[in-house]
Amino acid sequence: MREGRILAASHKGAYVIRLVGDVRLNLCTTIDEYFERMCDDPAFASVWVDLCDAEGVDSTTLGQLAKLALKVHERFGFYPAIYSCDPGIVRLLRSMGFHRLFELHEEVCSNPDDIAEIPVVAGSEEAVREKVMEAHRVLMGLSEENRERFQDLVTAMEHG
């Protein structure tokens, strides 16, 4: 698998975020900081998440995407769009309840000309641990199945 990368583009408050390769918790600080800046943009109008070039997405990344969708819905009153061309990733998204958080599209997203890689932001071990726990708590809040799936992990991290 290719190492994970995050690319993004925006135009007049419309954002596209593309996850490429195997996106894991080592990018959680990068993702979190970008999502915060994006949602704080006074011109923010929409966001699409493109997973068509993703080979893998871990549970921390999924939790951060869920957090983004919940925040966008709460602050702006709409559900973001998420695109995936991989049937396995679509099954994963559905199993986590993402079809209730996003407008789920099983097709290729438009390709903005000015998309560029977001520089990786390193986080301290403690900051990463907090982001991982927060992401999993968000996932746990989506369904009883997710609660059962991640409860042991969160409990271990809280006491570890």
Is 100 within 8 Å of 3 (Cβ atoms)?
no
Single pTM value for the model: 0.94
User: How many residues can be counted in the chain?
Assistant: 160
- Strand 5-11 relative to strand 14-23: parallel, antiparallel, unpaired? antiparallel
Rounded Cα distance between 20 and 113, Å, is: 16
- The whole-number pLDDT of residue 4 equals 95
Residue linked to tokens 């991640």: 150
**pLDDT value of position 43:** 97
Encode the chain (160 residues) as per-residue pLDDT tens digits: 799 999 999 999 999 999 999 999 999 999 999 999 999 999 999 999 999 999 999 999 999 999 999 999 999 999 999 999 999 999 999 999 999 999 999 988 777 778 899 999 988 999 999 999 999 999 999 999 999 999 999 999 888 7
What structural domains and CATH numbers belong to the chain? 5-158 (3.30.750.24)
Written as six digits, the tokens of 46 are 């929409």
Cα separation, 86 vs 98, in Å, equals 15
